[in-house]
Amino acid sequence: MFAQSRLFATALVAATALGIAAADARSVKWARSGDALTLDPHAQNEGPTASLNRQMYEPLVERAVDGKLLPTLALSWRITDDPTVWEFKLRPGVKFHNGNAFDASDVVFSLDRARLPTSDYKGYLTSVEKVTAVDPLTVHVKTKGPNPIFVQNLTNLFIMDKEWSETNNVQKPQDFKNKEENFAVRNSNGTGPFALISREPDVRTVLRRHDGYWGRGEFPMEIAELVLTPIKADATRVAALLSGEVDFVQDVPVQDVERLKNAPKVTVNVGPENRTIFLGMDMGAKELRSSDVKGKNPFADRRVRQAVNMSVNRTAIQKVVMRGQSVPAGAIVPPFVNGYTTALDTWPAPDNAKAKALLAEAGYPSGFSVSFNCPNDRYLNDEAICQAVVGMLGQIGIKANLVSQSKSLHFPLIQKAQTDFYLVGWGVPPYDSEYIFSYLHHSRSDKYGSWNATGYANAEVDKLIEGLSSETDLGKRNAAIAKIWETLAAETLYVAIHHQVLAHAMKNDLDIPVHPENQVFFKLVALRKS
């Protein structure tokens, strides 16, 4: 037993080494700060999990770097004559890694699975009433009402093999109440460009190019083997790239971007992320929980919110805190999201005298105090941004008492609306303003406003937001979006600070572009000949 397993291990190592040499193609070691949580494609709606699974599983449509939708497992899609039914024509001749053929029944199975209670993707599919296979290559999705942007929600909904899932008893995503591990947590069978070879969570995941991939001739596919190695410590991750042990670092710490740009044999690609960092103020409460002002709520006065907006010096935060690695923002809407306008993305010049005057006008000439809730492990330099904001507010007399803590303590405060003043970030996976409105601006209710801790409730805006989901005329819909943004901008509900910027660092022969959702499509990577 002893000798045997050792022999086996040696043989395995030798085989892997030979395999790489024989294939004469590149093996890429991919380092990230954290590992995927699971390989089950519907169990965790989390960036790093999706970016690993995306190499093995595929959605119906993919989002390109420029934000456009690309046909993937669906070749085409349209709204049928019935505005509540979407039709998807599927790609023929696609096979799963185990050789099973892909067809409409797999799509129906997967979309149904993603709507189960233990799925973390059900939020994307709440509008779905029924998914049906019309024929092996046609799927109809019936929504509860017209949903003109339904397809935008599908870019992270991966398709599993129905037969494989049934054989391995993984018809449901992992239930954390169970005693046993779901088979899909460490095994996979997708249609994607890479197939799983081995998986040691938190240590190493090895994928190999799937030669039967439908896009083998269409995409470069020059990476033969992909090894994901999570390295949590920033300094170690960067060191591993500099020492040549890894080829690609997806999460480059802000402070190392400049240094890596100057390093020989290393390329750094920088690009905007689909995520805006902003401040929220509770304007709805009768009295702030943590303020020295009693009996009234300073944030309820628009002039106070404007003063806050005016005191936050975005360029200074960009320069000093982010070392240039951010895009200052005037609204919680990244440039590639539908509804973005340059007019919206403006902010007042920092002017402390004017801000103080506004505060005085509102009845707070000597300012007031308030607790300021901030995460310290979620966004790039989140705590440092908060510290800068505290200093800036201090200059106009608002004494913000910083409470910075882990995201697992910070997020519930916002979800339960128990904070007076907070910093948070927001990404927009469907690339449409409706998503921003319904989570951040609609008044709190069962279906809407789960991240709106401002207490803002405007029945008129609510009605407009609800109308968006069923407006099938895109021209009218965009006009409504513009109107909502106009109303909201006048309110100064939130104070946007910046859009985050992502930096990838890699060896010179790779050129991996920055995707706004921090996803990497390794099938698209072509090696640079040196």
Partner 1 sequence: MIAYALRSLAQAVVVTLAVALIAFTMFRFVGDPVASMMGQEASLADRAELAERLGLNQPVHVQFARYLRDIAQGNFGISYRQGRPVADLLAERLPATVELAVLSAAFALVAGVALGVYTAIRRTGLLANFVMSFSLIGVSLPTFLIGIGLIYVFAVELRWLPSFGRGEVVKFGWWSTGLLTESGRKSLVMPAMTLAFYQLTLIMRLVRAEMLEAMRTDYIKFARARGIPERSIWFRHALRNTMIPVTTIAGLQLGSVIAFAIVTESVFQWPGLGSLFVQAVEFVDIPVMAAYLMFVALVFVLVNLIVDLLYFVLDPRLRAGTLAAARP
In the complex, the residues that contact partner 1 under the rule CB under 8 A are 1-2, 5-6, 9, 13, 34, 37-38, 40, 43-46, 117, 120-124, 126, 174-182, 185-186, 200-204, 229-233, 235-237, 239-240, 242-245, 377, 405-409, 411-412, 415, 426-427, 439, 444, 446-447, 450-451
**By C-beta, is 219 or 411 nearer to partner 1?**
411
**By C-beta, is 184 or 312 nearer to partner 1?**
184
CA 21, distance to chain mean position in Å, is 37
Q: What is the 3-state secondary structure (H, E, C) of 223-269?
A: EEEEEEEECCCHHHHHHHHHCCCCCEECCCCHHHHHHHHHCCCEEEE
* Residue 236 Cβ vs partner 1, minimum distance, rounded to whole Å: 5
* Residue 213 Cβ vs partner 1, minimum distance, rounded to whole Å: 27
**By C-beta, is 182 or 318 nearer to partner 1?**
182
Distance CA 524, CA 504 (A): 16
Residue 12 per-residue DSSP state: H
What's the chain's Rg over C-alpha atoms? 25
**By C-beta, is 34 or 67 nearer to partner 1?**
34
**By C-beta, is 155 or 291 nearer to partner 1?**
155
* Residue 206 Cβ vs partner 1, minimum distance, rounded to whole Å: 13
Distance CA 406, CA 383 (A): 10
Q: Hey, CA dihedral for 375, 380, 384, 387, is it positive or negative? A: negative
**By C-beta, is 179 or 529 nearer to partner 1?**
179
* Residue 223 Cβ vs partner 1, minimum distance, rounded to whole Å: 21
Q: Let me know: does 23 contact 32? Beta carbons within 8 Å.
A: no
* Residue 159 Cβ vs partner 1, minimum distance, rounded to whole Å: 19
* Residue 377 Cβ vs partner 1, minimum distance, rounded to whole Å: 6
Q: How many residues does the chain have?
A: 530
* Residue 262 Cβ vs partner 1, minimum distance, rounded to whole Å: 14
Distance CA 243, CA 247 (A): 10
**By C-beta, is 49 or 311 nearer to partner 1?**
49
**By C-beta, is 48 or 215 nearer to partner 1?**
48
Residue whose C-alpha is closest to residue 25's, from 361, 417, 509: 509
Q: Let me know: does 160 contact 189? Beta carbons within 8 Å.
A: yes
**By C-beta, is 182 or 313 nearer to partner 1?**
182
* Residue 450 Cβ vs partner 1, minimum distance, rounded to whole Å: 5
Q: Are strands 85-90 and 74-79 parallel, antiparallel or unpaired?
A: antiparallel
| Residue at token pair 């990476």 | 223
**By C-beta, is 284 or 513 nearer to partner 1?**
284
Q: Let me know: does 261 contact 324? Beta carbons within 8 Å.
A: no
CA 339, distance to chain mean position in Å, is 19
Q: Where are the alpha helices (DSSP H) in 395-526?
A: 407-415, 433-436, 459-468, 474-491
Beta-carbon contacts of 159 under 8 Å, excluding residues fewer than 6 positions away, are 57, 58, 59, 60, 73, 102, 106, 107, 110, 190, 191
* Residue 151 Cβ vs partner 1, minimum distance, rounded to whole Å: 16
CB-count burial class (<10 Å; 0-12, 13-18, 19+) for 468 = buried
Q: Let me know: does 60 contact 159? Beta carbons within 8 Å.
A: yes
Token digits of residue 453: 């801790």
**By C-beta, is 243 or 530 nearer to partner 1?**
243
* Residue 183 Cβ vs partner 1, minimum distance, rounded to whole Å: 11
* Residue 427 Cβ vs partner 1, minimum distance, rounded to whole Å: 7
